[in-house]
Structure 1
Amino acid sequence: MAKPELLQYTAKDRKDSQRPAEERIKDHWPIEPRLLFADLIDEASRCGQCGVPSCHTGLSSVYTGCPLENNIPDIHKLAASGDLEAAYKISSSTNPMGAVTGRVCPSAKSLCESSCVLNENTGSGHGYVSIRRIENAVHDLAWENGWIRPIKPLHDYKESIGIIGSGPGGYAAAEGLRKLGYNVTIYERSPVAGGLLTIGIPEFKLEKKIVDRHYKYLEEGGVTIKCNSGIGDTIKFEQLLKEHQAIIIATGKYKPKDPRLEGSAKDLATPTLEYLARQNLLNRGIKMDDRYPPEIFDAKGKTVLVNGGGDTAMDCVRTAIRQGAKKVICLYRRDAENMPGSEKEFQAAKAEGVEFRFMHQVKAADEMPGGGFMVKGVKTALGAPDSSGRQGMVETDETFEIQADIMINAIGFDPENLPVLFNVSALPVTRRGTLDVQNPVLAPHSHVVVGGLVTVFERAGNTIPVFAVGDIAGSNLVVEALKGGRDIAPHVHKALRSP
């Protein structure tokens, strides 16, 4: 192994590269190429090898470091030396989906990269180490070079665990429990496994082959995955209580937030998740049902208006651009500095031709006689900061009207009403609609709830513990859901092995 060349942040610039906007808007393929070997070594060598690594521990309540507590300096030291297999082993010991998080984490906004002491926020002038790109390159190479071994369970337990939802939280829990030796079945209501990784996040941010290989790995390791198996309609929750000795709920958040609009077209906007899911499944040759008129999902030649400023809104505007929209307008009620989404996604959308109109609060949508919408609202001004430090907004007397063919309200998602959906009134929920967990598993530094025990059912003299992980427990990020799934596995194991 070569002696690693480190602390090169003064001599080498960060490796940033994207396909030209005029090229990438013509397809749905990734916009950011993977770091090649030499560039990977160079980028890892920029690491400062801090004695107290803030990328790991966080800098503050805003810049919180890595929720998975990845051992980033050691990963970079090994990568800089060229020992990429060893770097992968360290990385995968805490991160079950490094090739995914290395593509979708908001690392430069609030996590590891924003906590790097070289970050522009610290005034270093050197630019943070591209931790995310190093991570995805190392994990990609692991898949390509056969460094990832099939799951070999430590034991052969008779107990079976049912996991509802195949997103990152469900995935990490399934992998951990299968390695321990449990029989695991995942129930997924969509036609493909992966949750929002598969149907929500666009291909140009996360190639589905990257996601698919993880679930193939689970299946080859003995995990059963049942798609088109929604709990509450296709399969009753009571049936799971009969078949399994423990249940993990990892359903995420899929209920669109209510935009509280007025007007004749207030309920006629294109459903956000449906819009993204249809394009993702279309890319795979899968056709969804015809619950909605197909034309509301096709932006070609149309004016598209997206209401919202988060990453989901960026996914929608950038998908519309790729569908060939005539014009794409994004309305947000604050300014660019106070957008909840990542700066990287915002800049990419701008480069691809999205028109942003800030300080615009949508209030109503009316149907136009010839089709389409007249979107109405008021302009706003910045107000006092809220509890998160983001500036609030106040409405002014100035109004606006914008005509559009397609309108999408991308303002976020809430948990579905699981006691109703599953027809199980005994599932406790918080006032926010997430499942109310006991002895919660917390993300470090931010103290976000990412998992925990929900309740225990008694059936035929047996106790069946029910756990929750991921967004349905309180998290918001893929990496937090992975933390919940990874860390809930030993809790389930302890519950099943305790006398």
Structure 2
Amino acid sequence: MGKPTGFLEYERKEAACKKPEERIEDFQEFKTPLSLEEQRKQGARCMDCGVPFCQSGMKIAGMVSGCPLHNLVPETNDLVYRGKWRLAYERLAKTHSFPEFTSHVCPALCEAACTCNLNGEPVATKENERAIIETAWENGWVQPKLPAVRTGKKIAVVGSGPSGLAAAQELNRRGHTVTVFERSDRFGGLLCYGIPNMKLDKHIIERRIRLMEEEGVIFRANADVGKDIKVRQLQKEFDRVILACGASNPRDIVVPGRDADNIFFAVDYLKAVTKSLLDSNLKDNAFVTAKGLHVLVIGGGDTGNDCVGTAIRLGAKSVTQLEMLPKPPGCRAPENPWPEWPKISKTDYGQEEAIAVSGKDPRIYQTTVTEFLKDSKGRVQKAKIVSLEPKKDEKSGRISMAPVEGTQRTIDAQLVLIAAGFLGSEKYVTDAFQVQTDNRTNVLTKPEQYETNVPGVFTAGDMHRGQSLVVWAITEGRNAARAVDRDLMGY
């Protein structure tokens, strides 16, 4: 696959980024993709390794290595190298519902498992996929796929995130009539309102929604199933229901002063900013500004990084990001060998921007909040923080992060964004459908299956497996669609 000596002849090259000082002036995407000719060289680096972990999606040491969609990575890379873009798109579309989503926001499990990554830089598979799908859109190759026959079966998909959209796409193409219910005013779930525009421009989602509508999928916005729409009504009208509502129950920080004003969950803050941007280009001021404020972000993951980048664009005076865990090493530790997912430190776009603005990394590792301090009007002004250290419980053997005595200090914090992850599904939905949940409030099914304890009600995505990646949500949606189709049709 690719050019046999390509990985020796060509270095890995990625899309060019605007300088941090320039890109923080707006919420536009800031990467300039390579030319197709340059991208072909990146395809040439795929080395015909013979053991393509990149497409395996298999568990190694408890972590998934490679793409869970089992994209035919060496084949698409080879077609990129040969300049056969249409064939590359057709091959990619066999396994992938929405390459335009993952090629923007996926952490590229395929690249982490690439054989080239063992002793060098991995093949730029993520950007190869972006070039494939964008070339396909530009040339009109992405066309509506209308089923030749309609089965007369009706399916309700609750939630329009990547898992719900993937399930809807597959079931519609099988000939069933699918209606997608979304409680927000726009479709896409956290793709739309949980991921900032500079990371995923919303026209990319809207483009796909329009295509799915042309294919026959029915979309209903501002439709909150379990509140506005009664469950019995839904089950009476539809033959099957798929719950794809996400793990949208955010984890809180329970400390004194938590009731202060100007403390928000990250997902609520990001949604308000994105909605205002899409509605009025921020002119309606329907969000809490960060302008001139000391911003504290609690959580070191992707959402925390998105909060950092958003706060800087909104004029924050300073941004501090707390992470409870120790800083990962700069390269793989001996106990974390290839092709396992690399547990290494990375500096994402938001942190790069914070460094450019303030001259220092916003992250403070092994640290947590112990108290929020308010002003006379009840608004948060400062936060008490403490350093942490790992300690092993002698009985259970579990390691937890414990406060270090004498390390307490106070920092400025006039806007606090809690990005500490999600606990699972929202109770009002699971209660309304009377589906069983596990101890993490994820909807319970048999292993590797998607039907709940309620006959005819299925689940997929984060609501099923817990907070995870977009690529996993798409995988779950496709698998749930297969399970529903089999249940409906008998094959």
Q: TM-score, normalised by structure 2?
A: 0.88
**8 Å CA contact retained: 1:314, 1:349:** no
Which residue of structure 1 lines up, in the alignment, with residue 335 of structure 2?
none
Which residue of structure 1 lines up, in the alignment, with residue 99 of structure 2?
98
**8 Å CA contact retained: 1:7, 1:47:** no
Q: Which runs of 5+ in 1 are unaligned?
A: 442-451, 458-464
Select which of 446, 458, 461 maps to 1:470: 461
Which residue of structure 2 lines up, in the alignment, with residue 115 of structure 1?
113
Distance 1:217 1:102, change over 3 A: same
User: Across the two proteins, how many residue pairs are aligned to each other?
Assistant: 464
SS at match of 1:424: helix
Runs of 4+ in 1 over 4 A off after TM superposition: 338-343, 349-352, 382-385
Which residue of structure 2 lines up, in the alignment, with residue 483 of structure 1?
475
**8 Å CA contact retained: 2:258, 2:372:** yes
Q: 2 CA distance for matches of 1:412 and 1:144?
A: 37
Structure 2 residue 420 is the aligned partner of structure 1 residue 411? yes
Q: Deviations over 1:307-339 (max 9, x none)?
A: 111111001011000111111111112233179
Q: 2 CA distance for matches of 1:393 and 1:102?
A: 35
Distance 1:498 1:50, change over 3 A: same
Which residue of structure 1 lines up, in the alignment, with residue 443 of structure 2?
435
**8 Å CA contact retained: 1:311, 1:345:** no
**8 Å CA contact retained: 1:376, 1:401:** yes
Q: Which runs of 5+ in 2 are unaligned?
A: 330-342
Distance 1:199 1:352, change over 3 A: farther
Task: Report which stretch shifted further, 420-429 or 152-161.
Answer: 420-429
Return the letter of the residue paired with 1:207. Answer: D
Q: Deviations over 1:347-393 (max 9, x none)?
A: 535544462222211121121236432211211234569xxxx9853
Structure 2 residue 85 is the aligned partner of structure 1 residue 84? yes
Aligned Cα root-mean-square deviation (Å): 2.6
Task: Report which stretch shifted further, 180-189 or 365-374.
Answer: 365-374
SS at match of 1:234: coil
Distance 1:313 1:153, change over 3 A: same
Which residue of structure 2 lines up, in the alignment, with residue 309 of structure 1?
300
**8 Å CA contact retained: 1:8, 1:47:** yes
Distance 1:138 1:54, change over 3 A: same
Cα deviation, residue 10, structure 1: 1.9
Which residue of structure 2 lines up, in the alignment, with residue 11 of structure 1?
9
Structure 2 residue 144 is the aligned partner of structure 1 residue 144? no
Cα deviation, residue 294, structure 1: 5.6
Q: 2 CA distance for matches of 1:82 and 1:378?
A: 55
Q: Deviations over 1:116-147 (max 9, x none)?
A: 1222xx2x1x3111111111111111111111
Which residue of structure 1 lines up, in the alignment, with residue 28 of structure 2?
29
Structure 2 residue 177 is the aligned partner of structure 1 residue 183? yes
Q: 1 CA distance for matches of 2:441 and 2:64?
A: 27
SS at match of 1:305: strand
Distance 1:352 1:89, change over 3 A: farther
Structure 2 residue 371 is the aligned partner of structure 1 residue 364? yes
SS at match of 1:258: coil
Q: 2 CA distance for matches of 1:250 and 1:342?
A: 31
Q: Deviations over 1:133-162 (max 9, x none)?
A: 111111111111111121221421111000
Q: 2 CA distance for matches of 1:485 and 1:254?
A: 17
**8 Å CA contact retained: 2:266, 2:307:** yes
Select which of 312, 326, 348 maps to 2:352: 348
Cα deviation, residue 85, structure 1: 0.8
Structure 2 residue 373 is the aligned partner of structure 1 residue 381? no
Select which of 423, 445, 452 maps to 1:454: 452
Percentage of pairs with the same residue: 31
Query: Matches of residues 255-266 of structure 1 in structure 2 within 5 Å?
Result: 255-263=249-257, 265=259
Return the letter of the residue paired with 1:436. Answer: L
Which residue of structure 2 lines up, in the alignment, with residue 327 of structure 1?
318
Cα deviation, residue 346, structure 1: 6.4
